[in-house]
């Protein structure tokens, strides 16, 4: 491995093949699967996937890794570019699973955008910072609970979780990691609007929801108070107190 990991890209390459079996189990890989992998790095996971599924769409930002990925498999479709900027749905329209060691600096936005931006994805198995993993399925009124918790839980249910040692990466990160697996349950029809309401609510965690929504220009304080009353909450309620489905109900009541 003669490519130095780039800190600005959040690169921590997966090098320990012992964790691959855990990924395969959590992702419930099948021979007819089409998988989207973001951030393949040296291709350790890519090769494992390619040997077990029909097709792998691998998206890598760092073009210097091309020699390591060139021979990953005849069923690997390699695309270089920024996954945050690319139209992943157009690039991998047939992908039904997202399996990846996600670059830590873009993991959260990639997961959130995939919920509605990749409507054909039915299962996710992603390696992320332990802190991010804990947020995805955190409970209301806890420190870890936030916008990403609400959005992921409105669409998905968790199917697996596995802590991962720092030693499986090169270079070892300064944080703990975890594999999280989840599957799509439903996508609320007004999800784009819910995203805005959730984002506004958690943008000012210490403020009440009526104040936060007014600051974001999504509702007057009066209409926000009325909407909260509709779902059985009072005007002093903060975002962290609402369960995911209450955010969906609040969004509907704000119309």
Q: What is the pLDDT of residue 47?
A: 96
Q: Where are the domains of the chain?
A: 7-184, 191-254
Specify the pTM: 0.91
pLDDT tens-place string over residues 185-231: 999 999 999 999 999 999 998 999 999 999 999 999 999 999 999 99
Q: What is the 3-state secondary structure (H, E, C) of the chain?
A: CCCCCCHHHCCCEECCHHHHHHHHHHHCCCCCCEEEEECCCCCHHHHHHHCCCCEEEEEECCHHHHHHHCCCCCCEEEEECCCCCCCHHHHCCCCCEEEEECCCCCHHHHHHHHHHHCCCCCEEEEEEEHHHHHHHCCCCCCCCCCHHHHHHHHHEEEEEEEEECHHHEECCCCCCEEEEEEEECCCCCCHHHHHHHHHHHHHCCCCCHHHHHHHCCCCCHHHHHHHHHHCCCCCCCCHHHCCHHHHHHHHHHHC
Domain 191-254 in this protein, CATH class: mainly alpha
pLDDT tens-place string over residues 73-126: 999 999 999 999 999 999 999 999 999 999 888 999 999 999 999 999 999 999
Q: What is the pLDDT of residue 167?
A: 84
Pairing state between β 55-60 and 76-80: parallel
Q: What is the pLDDT of residue 6?
A: 46
Q: Which two tokens stand for residue 169?
A: 């990466």
How far apart (Å, rounded) are the C-alpha atoms in residues 208 and 201?
A: 8
| End-to-end CA separation in angstroms for the chain | 55
For residue 64, which of 126, 11, 129 has the smallest C-alpha distance? 11
pLDDT tens-place string over residues 21-69: 999 999 999 999 999 999 998 899 999 999 999 999 999 999 999 998 9
Task: Evaluate whether 243 touches 142 at the Cβ level (below 8 Å).
Answer: no
Task: Evaluate whether 99 touches 121 at the Cβ level (below 8 Å).
Answer: no
Q: What is the pLDDT of residue 10?
A: 46
Task: Evaluate whether 183 touches 151 at the Cβ level (below 8 Å).
Answer: no
Contacts 24+ apart (CB under 8 A), 53-58: 53/29, 55/94, 57/91, 57/92, 57/95
Q: What is the pLDDT of residue 166?
A: 85
pLDDT tens-place string over residues 128-163: 999 999 999 999 999 999 999 999 999 999 999 999
C-alpha atoms less than 13 angstroms from C-alpha of 217 in its C-beta half-sphere: 0
pLDDT band at 9 (very low <50, low <70, confident <90, very high): very low
108 contact partners, CB below 8 Å, separation of at least 6: 132, 135, 148
Instruction: Judge: domain 7-184, CATH 3.40.50.150.
Output: yes
Q: What is the pLDDT of residue 123?
A: 98
């Amino acid at each position: 491995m003669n490519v130095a990991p780039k800190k600005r890209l959040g690169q921590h390459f997966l090098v320990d093949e012992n964790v691959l079996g855990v990924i395969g189990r959590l992702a419930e890989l099948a021979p007819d699967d089409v998988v989207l992998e973001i951030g393949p790095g040296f291709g350790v996971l890519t090769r494992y996937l390619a040997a077990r599924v029909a097709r792998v769409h691998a998206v890598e930002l760092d073009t210097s890794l091309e020699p390591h990925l060139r021979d990953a498999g005849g069923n690997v479709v390699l695309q270089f570019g920024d996954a945050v900027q690319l139209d992943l749905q157009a690039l991998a329209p047939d992908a039904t699973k997202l399996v990846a060691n996600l670059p830590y600096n873009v993991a959260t936005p990639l997961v959130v955008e995939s919920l509605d931006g990749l409507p054909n994805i039915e299962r996710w198995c992603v390696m992320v910072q332990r802190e991010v993993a804990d947020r995805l399925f955190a409970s209301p009124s806890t420190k870890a609970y936030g916008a990403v918790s609400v959005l992921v839980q409105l669409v998905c249910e968790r199917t697996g979780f596995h802590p991962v040692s720092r030693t499986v990466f090169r270079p070892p990160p300064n944080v703990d990691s975890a594999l999280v697996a989840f599957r799509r349950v439903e996508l609320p029809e007004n999800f784009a609007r819910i995203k805005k309401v959730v984002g506004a609510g958690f943008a000012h965690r210490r403020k009440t929801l009526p104040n936060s929504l007014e600051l974001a220009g999504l509702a007057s304080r009066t209409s926000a108070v009325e909407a909260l009353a509709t779902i059985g909450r009072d005007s002093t309620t903060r975002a962290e107190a609402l369960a995911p489905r209450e955010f969906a109900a609040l969004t509907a009541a704000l119309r």
